Amino acid sequence: MENEEYAIIYREILKSLPSILLYCGLFMKVAVIDLGTNTFHLLIARVDKVSHEILLRERKAVKIGEKGINKGEITLAAWERALTALNRFKTIIDEHQVDQVFATATSAIRNASNGQDLVKEIHKQTGIEIEVISGMREAELIHHGASKALDFGSEKNLIMDIGGGSIEFIIADSNQAFWLRSFEVGGQRLVEKFHKSDPITPEEIAELTAFFEAELQPLAEAWAEHHPTTLVGCSGTFDTLSDIYCEQTKAERDPDTTEYPFGIEAFKDIFTDLINKTREERLAIPGMIEMRVDMIVVACVLVDYIIEKFHLKNIRVSAYALKEGILYNVLDSLQKEINTSN
């Protein structure tokens, strides 16, 4: 038998290994990597037939879209930061003896002229294969993650994930998603295009608002049809807003919780404070982290616009988003394989 035939058989065995392990009552370890526009995330979980346990969460502020996202390119500096982060992740993955890796890249990489070249270089250096997903697939996975974290009830919710390159919106209740859409108007794009002054000026906020009115028209049409009443925030901006709120109120937050403390009145107070501060003053706010300090102002202008435009009555913050959506998607797929084998 030729070496290539052996290689094909070996790859097929590797593909079947997870379901074989779980079917036999054993466990496996999976790693999920989310290559976002600002932050790269690594999640490692131990999985068996009926449950999973998160073993590790790590994040790196790579800022892969910085200074290049509105030009459709990844700069050399961002390229090097990405490779450094993925080589670090590879070391951690090997230390944990992970069985399978699931890595996805989103807006900055999918829209960059040299995005696929970076994907190939990462594979060359680490062996990690990266799937560059569409905006719609990103929205589906975010919904999958958020729906595992929160009970949406019978009322319709507007799920919102503000990334550096794109923003995803989903209208859903506990039973289904009625509408999903990804817009390539993420926080890094907005910062570089609109946030020129420090603090941000009323004129810049007005320009942002006019931009949202034009770009988010499909969302306005979806709201007119479905009328969601609650905003469900996912990922970085909302995580940081909840951190600030918890610092202000001395609220305890369970590290294993699936919903972070927050609310619409808390948002209004923090938003008013943020837009009147310089970068240095924002960074001094308890709960603020440096990787969020630049993007959080334009992100909050957007959140405020969404609340006012669509008359939303409440904000909830999901602890799960894209990477958890990927993890649960993997778990669901493995379970289906096991059930089919039975």
Domain boundaries, the chain: 3-133, 136-323
What pLDDT is recorded for position 337? 66
Based on its alpha-carbon atoms, the radius of gyration of the chain, rounded to whole angstroms, reads 21
pLDDT computed for residue 59 by the predictor: 94
In angstroms, the CA 266 to CA 315 distance is 9
pLDDT of residue 225: 97
- The percentage of the chain sitting over the pLDDT mark of 70, rounded to a whole number, equals 90
For domain 136-323, the question of CATH label 3.40.50.300 is answered with: no
Q: Please, what's the b/e burial string for 115-147 (b: 16 or more CB within 10 A of its CB; e: otherwise)? A: beebbeebeeebebebebbebebbbbbbbbbbb
**Tens digit of pLDDT for each residue in 135-183?**
999 999 999 999 999 999 999 999 999 999 999 999 999 999 999 999 9
Q: Of 108, 93, 80, 75, whose CA–CA distance to 33 is shortest?
A: 93
- Check residues 82 and 52 and name the one with the higher pLDDT: 82
With a cut of 80, say whether residue 265 has pLDDT above it. yes
**Window from 68-72, 137-141, 268-272 with minimum mean pLDDT:** 68-72
In this structure, of 25-29, 34-38, 64-68, the range with the lowest mean pLDDT score is 25-29
pLDDT of residue 9: 45
Q: Do domains 3-133 and 136-323 have the same CATH topology?
A: yes
Identify the CA nearest to 101 among candidates 11, 54, 48, 31. Answer: 31
Interval 302-325 mean pLDDT: 96
Tell me, what's the pLDDT at 139?
96
Average pLDDT, integer, range 302-324: 96
| Fold entry, domain 3-133 | Nucleotidyltransferase; domain 5 (3.30.420)
Dig out the tokens for 304 from the structure. 């405020």
Average pLDDT over residues 38-43: 95
CA dist., res. 281 & res. 234, Å (int): 25
